[in-house]
Amino acid sequence: MKNLLTISLLVVGMFTSEFVIAQFSLTGEFRPRTEINRGYKTLASENQNAATITTQRSRLNFIFNTESIKTKLVLQDVRRWGNQKQLVGNEDFATSIHEAWAEVFFTTDFSLKAGRQELVYDDHRIFGNVGWAQQARSHDLALLKYEKDVKIHLGIAHHENGNITDNIYDGPDAYKDMQYIWFNNKWENSSLSLLVLNNGVPVMEDNEQVNKYSQTMGGHFTIALKPVKLASNFYYQTGTHSSGKDISAINFLVEASIIAGFTLGFEHLSGTAYNETEKLKSFTPFYGTNHKFNGFMDYFYVGNHIGSVGLHDVYLKYKYVKNKIGLNAHIHYFGAAAEIADGADSYLGTELDLSASWAVKPMAKIIVGYSTLFASESMEILKGGDSSVGQHWAYVMLSVTPAFIK
């Protein structure tokens, strides 16, 4: 009996020592969202009825860390209620892998992270996880990281699919080859990030596939000058578009936030005028969380408005958080950055976004929102539909994030 007790204590001690240097967590996410829209992403017509849909994201997050490695596996199911029969037997309705990566630390400051992973940098303008979308965004790539006094990340991605013999990539992703380098340094009250992105899109020329490369160069700067915090972006794009046209485009953002919860800002994304034929002057925000920026009704850069007349966005935002309640109110004034048509006004419309959240329990939250767009006739030229009818979008979302093992 004494020997058995001794062995049991040794086993417990071994397990405890392993647990000290290795940490495992298993968490989840259950996020159904019901949306009602009549004029979401594009103008509604006069006789168009409102549509109601419910989508859901369900996730299991496995994380295992030691002093020398980190790993993460995120299993994800994204569905629209009613899109799958009750007695399901089709393997096409399978759980997907949103993230599956391992990070090996050669030293405490230098590591290699490889696999399917989210890329989130700065304010999400060029790289973001698109967390609002139920499916979200992740990339297949290798990432070298140096993080000490400064941070330097070097990302490299090369994509192939079924036809590996001829080295021809025909989708489904937006690039065949991508490389980027990101630098970040923080001081006591300020931060500066610099980014260079080389994005290669495959096209067929003379029965051979070649990449058309564009380059995005710029950065993000923040500084806290109490009671005001200033933030700014500037990015320049050059290179060759998949159409063969030369690219010359810019993105500029400046905003000021104060302690009282107000943020005033302006963003410019250059565009190509209707009569421009020589160059592509439309800025592409590529892999950012675009829902975060130019209005929650997603009229711009959320699977749309790419290669178009660009955008001027003047906005005022208010955020209030107290105890378990959060309130947000945004107003955007939209204008085209380039000529839409001969004699057309550049004003596109004004959007109002309202939302509220309630933390019901520590791992449960309810969020509701309502948005409306007061569109101009110039928006009709870009989107079709009828600017004189009401454009509305509303949602209610439940987010539950249990920690099964932590």
Domain ranges of the chain: 23-405
pLDDT at 90: 66
pLDDT at 55: 97
Residue 365 to residue 89: CA distance in whole angstroms: 33
Contact 371, 350 (CB under 8 A): no
Q: Is 319 exposed, middle or buried (0-12, 13-18, 19+ CB in 10 A)?
A: middle
pLDDT at 92: 66
What distance separates the 2 farthest-apart alpha carbons in the chain? 95
DSSP notation for 86-148: SS---TTS--EEEEEEEEEESSSSEEEEEEEE----TTSSSB---TTSSS---EEEEEEEEES
Closest CA to 293 of 303, 281, 305, 301: 301
Residue 59 to residue 26: CA distance in whole angstroms: 10
Question: Which residue numbers in the chain have pLDDT < 50?
Answer: 1-2, 4-12, 14-18, 20
What residues pair up with 51 in beta bridges, in sequence order?
Answer: 37
Threshold 0.75, pTM exceeds: yes
pLDDT at 16: 47
Per-residue pLDDT tens digits for 259-318: 789 999 999 999 999 999 889 999 999 999 999 999 999 999 999 999 999 999 999 999
pLDDT at 226: 85
What's CA 361's distance to the chain center, in Å? 27
pLDDT at 15: 46
CATH assignment, 23-405: 2.40.160.100
pLDDT at 112: 98
pLDDT at 1: 46
